Structure 1
């Protein structure tokens, strides 16, 4: 790899993506930042330039294969290639399967799963030509465990991990092309503020809540020293073992405990959150969840479903 990495980051507007952009910027990386809101991306790019990086932005909806291809083309045109592709764009939703509208369910799959597939295809087109590169896909602890109220998210993340495992097998003859999965647990980002909510009750993240820069450091680390799978969030990672060792007990406990922990008694309006349109109000790295007095609730989201 070149000393100065050429890095594409999807979902760079907030949370883990924004934190990752900052850390790569501290290494003077050449960055291509992608997200659905152009103005927010420019704010992130300005932060990165102030840290010494070269950064360009491209408004991209990863559910469109054509837009993802354009993103890869822009990186090659500007920087001559891609060393690291960070697939981070993701949407979240609360509600039982029956409460969740079909278009919301489908939209999560198209962004969280198909968006990663499109990103891998675009990145591999460049990696094959270079004969090297690192694909880093941000999956989730929900790639390995389950809970009620988040069926589209779990479906997308289980599918993503399976896709990455198959892809890794198929690339066995290309030793300098690496496929890395990073699996965060509950992270202090605005994802809960952005989430669709069809429960009728205010929601909150499952504690303990982890610093997003821990995930960003893991992404940067595997970009330099590729690793098949990295989990971030030790406490919740224990649930992976619990589910494997005692699946019936795990199901019984989580089915009762998760709604009690994730939902408050406060009413909240039905909302699609940022599922169909970006939310410009919560675009920082953190969501403000690590201070206990603030770990109370968040309302149903920005826009009431019509």
Structure 2
């Protein structure tokens, strides 16, 4: 089993989506452990900024490689550049992702398609190109960044949900195919709502300003989870405990979940307007907006929203557990026994 050993061997770590959010936080976390880094995203200026940060944090070497993961040729070039520069790839973190708000009817088809090509097909292209290298090496860890939306749903973000549901299924199938391959690991990280600029970057066709659903978790928590998987690979890790609790509700009480999630999105995710339609950064990056955090955890409405979300989560989880245990809040009437013809 390949393990990342706190930079003692200068392991080579490739990070896509490294210019912003989770990817940028993860690059800095690996830099603190003395890794050799390959940083990839669509924005060279942002990558150069991150490279400077990582060198200051202790990275042994940093290679910057502008890459659009929705282009399979560019993914192949990224793998080739990493191998030619460092001779191997020990850990790959697939954090590149784009986001879109709007109903299925509101969302332009090219935006819907590009979200799928970036979030899902980009990871497929990575696996197809990377796994032969891992087989040659006899080791390697692929860490795929999914979402809590890989297991639950909500209105207005159907392209993202479609991509993340598909990504988790792909990751699980990939792990099953590699079950007998010693030393190669495939891991999935499912973050809840994370304080990154992805919401500022999102395409938006709702006519209203978009906000992340509370509570909002620090991207550094996700980065620590990713580094932990490089140390000790596990199949799946969810980051964000309150929103994680909605996974069993979605599975056990789908009708209740469907009734609740629409009003939650309308109240907490879509507020104020009107806002002109925008493709956000789905097609082109915005280097000026690339940061680790989006500043959402410091918003004045945060505490009230967290309290409301926590209370709602507690109520629905309690009901889900009662239902799972066969106790939906009041005694069920006893079923009358069926009458059968007495044997003579």
How far 1:256 moved relative to its partner? 2.3
The residue that corresponds to 2:148 in the other structure is: 141
SS at match of 1:56: strand
TM-score by length of 2: 0.84
The residue that corresponds to 1:304 in the other structure is: none
Higher radius of gyration, 1 or 2: 2
Contact 1:148/1:259 (<8 A) preserved? no
Instruction: Quote the Cα distance in structure 2 between the aligned partners of 1:148 and 1:138.
Output: 21
Spell out the pairing of 1:99-248 with structure 2 (5 A cutoff).
99-248=106-255
The residue that corresponds to 1:303 in the other structure is: none
Instruction: Quote the Cα distance in structure 2 between the aligned partners of 1:18 and 1:58.
Output: 14
Instruction: Quote the Cα distance in structure 1 between the aligned partners of 2:111 and 2:302.
Output: 26
Contact 1:288/1:294 (<8 A) preserved? no
Spell out the pairing of 1:51-70 with structure 2 (5 A cutoff).
51-53=57-59, 54-70=61-77
SS at match of 2:288: coil
Instruction: Quote the Cα distance in structure 2 between the aligned partners of 1:235 and 1:5.
Output: 34
How far 1:295 moved relative to its partner? 5.5
Contact 2:187/2:234 (<8 A) preserved? yes
Choose which of 24, 33, 40 in structure 2 pairs with 1:18.
Answer: 24
The one-character-per-residue Cα deviations of 1:22-50 (angstroms, maximum 9, x if unpaired) are 00000110000000011110110011111
The one-character-per-residue Cα deviations of 1:168-195 (angstroms, maximum 9, x if unpaired) are 0000111310000000000000000000
Choose which of 70, 74, 78 in structure 1 pairs with 2:85.
Answer: 78
Q: Say whether residues 1:41 and 2:47 are aligned partners.
A: yes
Q: Say whether residues 1:8 and 2:5 are aligned partners.
A: no
Choose which of 50, 53, 56 in structure 2 pairs with 1:50.
Answer: 56
How far 1:294 moved relative to its partner? 6.9
Instruction: Quote the Cα distance in structure 1 between the aligned partners of 2:209 and 2:274.
Output: 6
RMSD: 1.2
The one-character-per-residue Cα deviations of 1:50-108 (angstroms, maximum 9, x if unpaired) are 12211111110000111001000011011100000101100000000100000000000
Contact 1:135/1:179 (<8 A) preserved? yes
The residue that corresponds to 2:287 in the other structure is: 280
Q: Which runs of 4+ in 1 moved over 3 A?
A: none
Contact 2:215/2:302 (<8 A) preserved? no
